[in-house]
Structure 1
Amino acid sequence: MSDLLTVTSIGEAPADFVRGAGSVVAEFAHLTQDSGNVSWLVDVGDRRLFVKTAGPDTPPPPGAAVPYFDHAGRVEVLRNAVVVARSCDHPALPRLLNVIESPGGPALVYEAADGELVGVRAAERPDPTSSYQRFAHLPSERLLGVFDVLVDLHTALAAVGWVAVDLYDGCLIVDHGTGSLKVVDLDGYRRGPSRNEMGRMFGSTRFMAPEEFELGAVIDERTTVFTLGRLVWHFATRLTESRSDFCGPAALAEVVQQAVQPSPEDRYAGVAPFAAAWRSARGR
């Protein structure tokens, strides 16, 4: 069995250990990752793993994306990701297989997710061959089926107290042929209601709730409801944001439009009632 799955502590840099533990298929470096994290896809025998670390404790080189956190902050959110993964067993979450402690923080070893990341850089979104465009133009039932799973996952997460933060299309890995979904990078999720202590919180403005821009505002399940609704509306209207292009029934469009009301008081009170209305409109 691979050391990546059995070793729980190392005395060297995670990068050196990972490169010696298998065949690196891809590296996602802090030069391109907005978070400042460094991750790898690694083949170990007939198994593919995804390993995520906090990256180096050094200033980013010129030209690097600006990290959300300093190194200590990145370590903290990775430890939060471990809590998220261990608190909820859902088929849409890639399994966390191991946590390896190192001088540079934990290395999280996940099963690799099959499929393509829906989110792409802004310049690539108009490209009809991009995963973003192909996802938005899946057959209606397959597209809505992906969102069935996303809503179900967040019902399970909310049941154990999690509120979505920084959930966007870059968290969705979809097999366009089967419609299977994996949701990744939930590191910033918060346990229970909290206050917006930042002003403009982390996330994509395309999917963020108004309270995620308001210092001191309450961040709770109604925030999750908004983001879920925005993801559905954006893609189920085939990127037009027009109700006339919504690919589901009128009853479902009404459910989603209530979810994305600007005032939290006008949305569903939580993920469970939103999910119940979603299932009813879907005839499930």
Structure 2
Amino acid sequence: MFPGEIDVQPSTYLDHLGTIFARFGAATQDSGNISYGVQTAGHRYFVKTAGDPAATAPYLDFAGRVGLLRNAALLARDVVHPTMPSLHAVIESPGGPLLVYDWRDGEHLGTNRDDPTSPHQRFRALPADEILVAFDALYDLHARLDAAGWVAGDFYDGSLLYDFANHRLTVMDLDSYHHGPYRNHMGRMFGSTRFMAPEEFALGAPIDTRTTAYVMARTALIYLTEPTEAQHAVLQEATTTRYPTYSAFHEAWQTASSTTTINRST
């Protein structure tokens, strides 16, 4: 259905592809990317582009945004998981690549965090069992990413959508994940301070599987308001003395959560 290349700008092509029912640009994000929700005769798609080639976002120029989109396409082709929208196509254009994903319904957990009616606060207020199901899915995704060699980067709750009606978590915008361990070349790296590991602030520090474990543990500490004693111990170890690998953290979390399930059922 999708061509490998087009000779017009992304928005022009999408106008012909179907009806654009949503647009996400400078008003909703500072990345410089422009994304669209597109309705065709039989499907809805989320299409992400590098935005205006002449525009320089606060953090990345056009070439940098194109590079991250290509990285996101590599990740989506490398790891397939129910929490991630399927990538249908990468279309080359004069305005850079268009990444065509499935559309996912859901509310953005990273907005208006202090508003008690926000998706952020409503998710935190869900029953612990429902939050744990979502985190099991998030952690399983990262187990697959970790096994494939991907290291978390610039992950925060802005990467999460939650469909409250269908109890479904969607993970998106993993453009800054890195294939393989590497060194911090920036000092203070991109990301939200509340989620970032210490090495993401230290120039030259190794960024690796331990970083992924820290970031995932921080996410649970932010959203899971009443972890069990066993779960809290796992999360604290991941963010203090540290697990040596993501898989060690994930195994410890599964053991703690399995104990929780048994206790709640007895």
What range describes the TM-score normalised by the shorter chain of this pair?
over 0.9
1:87 match: 78
Q: What is the deviation of 1:31?
A: 4.6
Distance 1:273 1:176 in 2: 31
**Aligned match for 1:211, one of 187, 199, 205:** 199
Q: What is the deviation of 1:27?
A: 0.5
Are residue 141 (structure 1) and residue 103 (structure 2) matched?
no
Per the alignment, in what secondary structure is the counterpart of residue 41 of structure 1? strand
1:195 match: 183
What's the CA shift string for 1:217-263, capped at 9, x where partnerless? 110011111110000001112xxxxxxxxx232101101111111xx
**Quick check: 1:196–1:216 contact (8 Å CA) kept in 2?**
yes
Per the alignment, in what secondary structure is the counterpart of residue 38 of structure 2? strand
Q: What is the deviation of 1:15?
A: 1.2
In the alignment, residue 148 of structure 1 is paired with which amino acid? D
Are residue 157 (structure 1) and residue 145 (structure 2) matched?
yes
Are residue 280 (structure 1) and residue 252 (structure 2) matched?
no
Q: Which runs of 5+ in 2 are unaligned?
A: 262-266
1:241 match: none
**Aligned match for 1:248, one of 227, 236, 259:** 227
Map 1:1-284 → 2, pairs under 5 A: 5-60=1-56, 66-120=57-111, 124-237=112-225, 247-261=226-240, 266-283=241-258
**Quick check: 1:138–1:176 contact (8 Å CA) kept in 2?**
no
**Quick check: 1:118–1:173 contact (8 Å CA) kept in 2?**
yes
In the alignment, residue 85 of structure 2 is paired with which amino acid? P
Distance 1:8 1:232 in 2: 40
What's the CA shift string for 1:8-63, capped at 9, x where partnerless? 11001111111221111110113542110000011112311000000111135xxx
Distance 1:23 1:40 in 2: 10
In the alignment, residue 90 of structure 1 is paired with which amino acid? H
1:242 match: none
In the alignment, residue 37 of structure 2 is paired with which amino acid? L
Per the alignment, in what secondary structure is the counterpart of residue 185 of structure 2? coil
**Quick check: 2:55–2:62 contact (8 Å CA) kept in 1?**
no
Q: What is the deviation of 1:104?
A: 1.6
Per the alignment, in what secondary structure is the counterpart of residue 268 of structure 1? coil
What fraction of aligned residue pairs are identical, expressed as a percent? 49
Distance 2:229 2:104 in 1: 33
Larger CA deviation: 107-116 vs 124-133? 124-133
**CA RMSD, aligned part only?**
1.2
Per the alignment, in what secondary structure is the counterpart of residue 6 of structure 1? coil
In the alignment, residue 140 of structure 1 is paired with which amino acid? A
Q: What is the deviation of 1:208?
A: 0.5
**Quick check: 2:32–2:55 contact (8 Å CA) kept in 1?**
no
Distance 1:206 1:19 in 2: 39
Q: What is the deviation of 1:105?
A: 1.1
Q: What is the deviation of 1:142?
A: 0.2
Distance 1:45 1:135 in 2: 33
In the alignment, residue 234 of structure 1 is paired with which amino acid? I
In the alignment, residue 250 of structure 2 is paired with which amino acid? A
Per the alignment, in what secondary structure is the counterpart of residue 88 of structure 2? strand
Q: Which runs of 5+ in 1 are unaligned?
A: 61-65, 238-246
**Quick check: 2:139–2:216 contact (8 Å CA) kept in 1?**
yes
Distance 1:173 1:280 in 2: 26
